[in-house]
Amino acid sequence: MSRLLEVKDLSVSFPTDAGVVRATQNLSFHLDRGETLAIVGESGSGKSVSSMAIMGLHNPGRTEISGEINLNFGENNLEVVSAPEEKIRAIRGKNVAMIFQDPMSSLHPYYSIGNQLTESWLIHNGGNLDSKTAKAKAWERAVEMLDLVGIPDAGRRVKEFPHQFSGGMRQRVMIALALINGPDLLIADEPTTALDVTVQAQILGLLKDMQKEFNMGVILITHDLGVVAEVSDRINVMYAGKLVEEGTVDDIFYRTSHPYTQGLLNSIPRVDSGVAEKLVAIPGQPPSLIALPKGCAFSPRCEYVRQVSSHDCKVEIPDSIEVASGHSRKCFLKETYLPAGKGR
Amino acid sequence: MSDKVLEVKDLKMHFAPRSTIFSKSNAPVKAVDGVSFHINRGETVGLVGESGCGKTTVGRTVMRLYNPTSGEIIFDDQDISQLKGNELKGIRSKIQLIFQDPYSSLNPRHTVGKIIEASFEIHKINPAGGRTAAVKELLAKVGLNPEHINRFPHEFSGGQRQRIGIARALALQPKLIVCDEPVSALDVSIQAQVVNLLDDLQSEFNLAYLFIAHDLSVVQHISDRVVVMYLGKIMEIATTKDLFAKPMHPYTKALLSAVPIPDPEIERKRERIVLQGDLPSPANPPSGCVFSTRCWKATEKCRTEVPELITLGVGNPNERSYACHFPEN
């Protein structure tokens, strides 16, 4: 069976007056059904840009995209980069769906929840938007979805407007909206960042249940490594538009191999650590995507640069090297594993 | 001079809603409803709770940005809750605020120098060596290049802007800084830099922090003691060590259990208490214990009788308080 999603050599750049913004460069990764892939990295590392590309949401006039994004839904295959807009439209919202960070600004304030839910369903299933029977069916389906995502009294609340829901409830509505057509692939872009921890726990639990229910592949974009540890199977670590390390959750947390991943793991305080030791911050700032440093983009902030004798990190760009099966990194360092997190 | 830089006694901050043509509801929003705690000199007290629990309102009322409905705010042995005019202005230089969003809290049309100098201007202070020299020194203190004094906020990254906000707060040599979610808008690697900076400045200037945040792992890292709030009331106060190791209030326990730990193995084994539902409305709080509607231990007593804040070991360093009829441990 072929993979649900296969991204090959994806590069996205935006020409601007100040220069070309290289948002992602030569990104390759894949995702299977029922699997959760987490994409982690700081702001501006290219996490959201790559997921927008998968949804075919970039404006072709202002974006340069190269590479391949192969989606495989069994009967309905598509290569997104070269596909015409109407083909992408047919799968967007049906086979591929997305949940955004801010549930208030991604729901339309003037339309009722039911109105927004049924619209998405009718476009992909109803055909005739004016048909009364199709509409009635869509409303039934909307109530069913709200019920499924745990909104109490769904029959009444379906007629309400976004401002009548709390933050957590709105995010549940967003999930219902994304799942109403039973997608094969769900992209969740910082789905719990705007929520309180107690509500975050509810929403993460719900996402896990829904993944089982629909047998979806899930891409989770986040900067919260705690959330990553909780829900993901595999992790892509991104820095300045490149994939610097990829592997299973255990690879990344216990067999950390890239200095940037190590820096990320060391800079987060943990509630279970007990003692308040000083945090190990990564010095400096992430680079500008218009003027990337020569060589490895992380080299200006990397403490290992001097230990590398075989290459000059500030001139040469490291290729992806497999350190174990399914676990690879882009780094010249001799040591394969670096102490990080609890083991440091 | 007492050890306490700030003592808040039974503070209430109720906001009366405006009646509109659609509704005439006159129930006030009880954002803060009878809160008592103190902060010692040079100490960091964390203030945690879900959004809407009143933690920001506490911070702002302590700074006297609001006029409290009732209660006392004793700062430096003086009740400041009713001060007005020049007296209040004098106190304000001793309590400063660091905001959450470093993008909207700096005037985009002013240079960094002007932003920081404004504190001197407003309070008519002329530091020895001149204002510009003082601003440069502050910039250096927070890890920025003093040569960047003439730059504008947009020329700095998020972490650097937060440093500018910190420099501005330090300008008048305050005794207490209210930090309202100072790192939640920053990336993790930058977050650690700012937390470390706050730590260093505290030891250098003997500052006290009221550290308001929803991220419990950061709060645990930086605080000496922690206050847990829920719907305008204090649920628990304890030293950081006690609170995280042995929470007494069920709400604290649930809150801690909801925080994901960046360790996959621990996450797989963890039993989680997932609270059902949302925070009730502070305009119409539940009777009895405010947490009773979401608490798994709630009984009839909890629904009718408001639990008092009980303090154990008054005066000793491990003093802790809780407001619950059926505490854990």
Closest chain B residue to A235 measured between Cα atoms?
A: B264
Do the domain assignments include residue A224? yes
The pLDDT score that the predictor gives to residue A114 is 94
What angle is formed at CA B184 by the lines to CA A274 and CA B102, rounded to 5 degrees?
Answer: 140
The pLDDT score that the predictor gives to residue A281 is 85
The percentage of chain A sitting over the pLDDT mark of 70, rounded to a whole number, equals 96
Residues of B in contact with A268 (CB under 8 A): 188, 192, 217, 262
b/e sequence B290-315, b meaning 16+ C-beta within 10 Å = bbbbbbeebeeebeeeebebeeeeee
Q: Within this chain, do residues A137 and A283 fall inside the same structural domain, yes or no?
A: no
Residue limits of CATH 3.40.50.300 in chain B: 4-17+27-94+174-322
Q: Is some CB atom of chain B closer than 8 A to the CB atom of A226? A: yes
**Of A40, A15, A17, A16, nearest to A29 (Cα)?**
A40
The percentage of chain B sitting over the pLDDT mark of 90, rounded to a whole number, equals 70
Instruction: Decide if A271 and B216 are in contact by the 8 Å CB cutoff.
Output: yes
Instruction: Decide if A279 and B261 are in contact by the 8 Å CB cutoff.
Output: no
CATH number of A87's domain: 3.40.50.300
B-facing residues of A in 169-188 (CB < 8 A) are 169
Does position A20 have pLDDT exceeding 70, yes or no? yes
Does position B176 have pLDDT exceeding 80, yes or no? yes
Closest chain B residue to A342 measured between Cα atoms?
A: B263
Q: Within this chain, do residues A264 and A227 fall inside the same structural domain, yes or no?
A: no
Q: Is some CB atom of chain B closer than 8 A to the CB atom of A202? A: yes
Do the domain assignments include residue A329? yes
Range of the domain at A162: 5-232
Q: Return phi, psi of residue A235, to 5°.
A: -130, 135
Closest chain B residue to A229 measured between Cα atoms?
A: B264
The pLDDT score that the predictor gives to residue B162 is 93
The pLDDT score that the predictor gives to residue A344 is 47
Least confident of A91-95, A126-130, A238-242, B152-156: A126-130
Instruction: Decide if B278 and A286 are in contact by the 8 Å CB cutoff.
Output: no
For the B4-17+27-94+174-322 domain, the top CATH level (class) is alpha beta
Do the domain assignments include residue A268? yes
Q: Within this chain, do residues A65 and A208 fall inside the same structural domain, yes or no?
A: yes
Do the domain assignments include residue A71? yes
ipTM for the predicted complex? 0.80
The pLDDT score that the predictor gives to residue B203 is 92
Q: Within this chain, do residues A148 and A293 fall inside the same structural domain, yes or no?
A: no
**Of A172, A167, A170, A159, nearest to A207 (Cα)?**
A172
What average pLDDT does range A280-307 have in this prediction? 90
Instruction: Decide if A269 and B217 are in contact by the 8 Å CB cutoff.
Output: yes
Q: Within this chain, do residues A181 and A87 fall inside the same structural domain, yes or no?
A: yes
The residue with greater pLDDT, B134 or A134, is: B134
pLDDT band at A129 (very low <50, low <70, confident <90, very high): low
Do the domain assignments include residue A248? no
Q: Within this chain, do residues A124 and A225 fall inside the same structural domain, yes or no?
A: yes
| H or E stretch covering A24 | strand A19-31
Average pLDDT of chain A is 89
Q: Within this chain, do residues A148 and A34 fall inside the same structural domain, yes or no?
A: yes
Q: Within this chain, do residues A32 and A168 fall inside the same structural domain, yes or no?
A: yes
Q: Within this chain, do residues A278 and A158 fall inside the same structural domain, yes or no?
A: no
Q: Within this chain, do residues A126 and A228 fall inside the same structural domain, yes or no?
A: yes
The pLDDT score that the predictor gives to residue B24 is 64
Q: Within this chain, do residues A149 and A213 fall inside the same structural domain, yes or no?
A: yes
The residue with greater pLDDT, A44 or B80, is: B80
Does position A1 have pLDDT exceeding 60, yes or no? no
The pLDDT score that the predictor gives to residue B214 is 86
Instruction: Decide if A199 and B50 are in contact by the 8 Å CB cutoff.
Output: yes
pLDDT band at A275 (very low <50, low <70, confident <90, very high): low
Does position B88 have pLDDT exceeding 60, yes or no? yes
Counting the structural domains of chain A, the total is: 2
Residues of A in contact with B257 (CB under 8 A): 201
Gyration radius (Cα) of chain B, Å:
21
**Of A303, A291, A225, A285, nearest to B162 (Cα)?**
A285
Does position A278 have pLDDT exceeding 80, yes or no? no
Do the domain assignments include residue A106? yes
Q: Is some CB atom of chain B closer than 8 A to the CB atom of A18? A: no
Q: Within this chain, do residues A295 and A224 fall inside the same structural domain, yes or no?
A: no
Query: Where a domain ends, among A214, A232, A250?
Result: A232
Rounded CA-CA distance B323/B311 in Å is: 9
